[in-house]
Amino acid sequence: MDRIPILKMGPYLLVTIQVDLYDRLALNLENDLISMVSKTEAKGVLIDISAVSIVDSFMGRILGNIASMSRIMDAETVVVGMQPAVAITLVELGLTLQGVHTALNVEKGMELLQDLIGLYGGSNEDEEGEPDDRND
């Protein structure tokens, strides 16, 4: 059975969805990701959906579930790279993914994750609080 690979990078888990998801595959991803979060005690999950052309209510629910479940386990989820057409369709569908953080691309997503973990995680790692740091 097909599975979507999950990469571990430091305290983060990275998932890049490259194929069109059918329901079973999405459910597998949810299970795999949550067990990985618990196994690795990851602090952040980054899901890149820039190659996904269709997100329907089921897929949207899975993304929401992953975010809620991760949060209970003290990990933040950021969904990055949503296509404009997908965003418009989701809004029309009535699904705004409340509670899921979003970012434009992987780079910005990682910055956001660092921010979020710095804010909520309480672990005082030496990261900057803001993506754009001033130099006076």
Partner 1 sequence: MNITANLLQKQKKRILEIWMQNQLADSALRDDLMTNDELLKQSEELIDALARAVKSGNIDNIFAAEFDQITEILSDVSITRARQGFSPRETGMYVLSLKRAISTVMEDEYKDQPEVLYKEITTINNLLDQLSIITFETFIKSREEVILRQTDEISEISTPVIRVWEGILALPIIGTLDSARTQVVMENLLQEIVNTGSNIAILDISGVPAVDSLVAQHLIKTVSATRLMGAECIISGIRAEIAQTIVHLGIDLSNIKTKASLASALQLAFSMSSVEVRKINKNTGAGLIR
Partner 2 sequence: MIVMTKDTMQIVREQDVVPFRNRVREFAAKIGMSLVNQTKLITAASELVRNMLKYASGGKVILEIISKSAQTGVRLTFVDEGPGISDIKQAMQDGFSTGRSLGLGLPGAKRLVNEFDIQSTPGTGTTVTIIHWKHGR
| Interaction partner, residue 132 (partner 2, partner 1, none; CB < 5-8 Å by kind) | partner 1
- The only residue of 14, 59, 67, 109 in contact with partner 1, by rule CB under 8 A: 109
- Determine the longest span between alpha carbons in the chain, in angstroms: 55
- The only residue of 99, 105, 123, 125 in contact with partner 1, by rule CB under 8 A: 105
- If one asks whether residue 64 binds partner 1 (CB under 8 A), the answer comes out as no
- 120 contact partners, CB below 8 Å, separation of at least 6: 76
Helix H segments across 13-120?
23-40, 57-72, 84-93, 106-116
- If one asks whether residue 103 binds partner 1 (CB under 8 A), the answer comes out as yes
d(CA 52, CA 122): 33
Closest among 135, 114, 64 to 94, alpha carbons compared: 64
For the bound state, the minimum distance from the C-beta of residue 53 to partner 2, rounded and expressed in Å, comes to 7
Token readout for 81 is 């790279």
For the bound state, the minimum distance from the C-beta of residue 61 to partner 2, rounded and expressed in Å, comes to 6
CB of 13 or CB of 90, closer to partner 2: 90
Residues 38-77 within binding reach of partner 2 (CB under 8 A): 53-58, 60-61
